[in-house]
Amino acid sequence: MKLLKTERYGAKERKFLRKHPELIDKYGAVLRKLSVDPFDRSLKLHSLKGNLSEFYAVSLTYEYKIVLFLKIVDGEIVLFNIGTHDEVY
């Protein structure tokens, strides 16, 4: 699957990784798994509800999540947001 990043996500990603350099390797591993198989159980992919019902989220760590839009037909995953549970939801 192809991973796409919105401009907003790119800025949030840079800020997040500057603040949490210890998660750079883990973040890379999650993105690789996501591009190979978004349904890999270790990613804990789950659909969201309410205002974010068209989005999904995967776990980076217990505390940090990545919110994404998953288009299976086009083989694209659009990364939307990254941060703590409270920050992204």
pLDDT class for 87, splitting at 50, 70, 90?
confident
| Domain 2-88, CATH class in plain words | alpha beta
CA angle 33, 53, 38 (to 5 degrees): 10
Q: What is the pTM of this model?
A: 0.87
Domain ranges of the chain: 2-88
Model pLDDT for residues 15-50, shown as the tens digit of each residue: 999 999 999 999 999 999 999 999 999 999 999 999
Phi, psi of 59 (to 5 degrees): -90, 130
Average pLDDT over residues 40-69: 92
The average confidence (pLDDT) of the chain is: 91
What string of DSSP letters covers 7-71?
Answer: HHHHHHHHHHHHH-GGGHHHHHHHHHHHHH-TT-GGG--EE--GGGTT-EEEESSSSEEEEEEEE
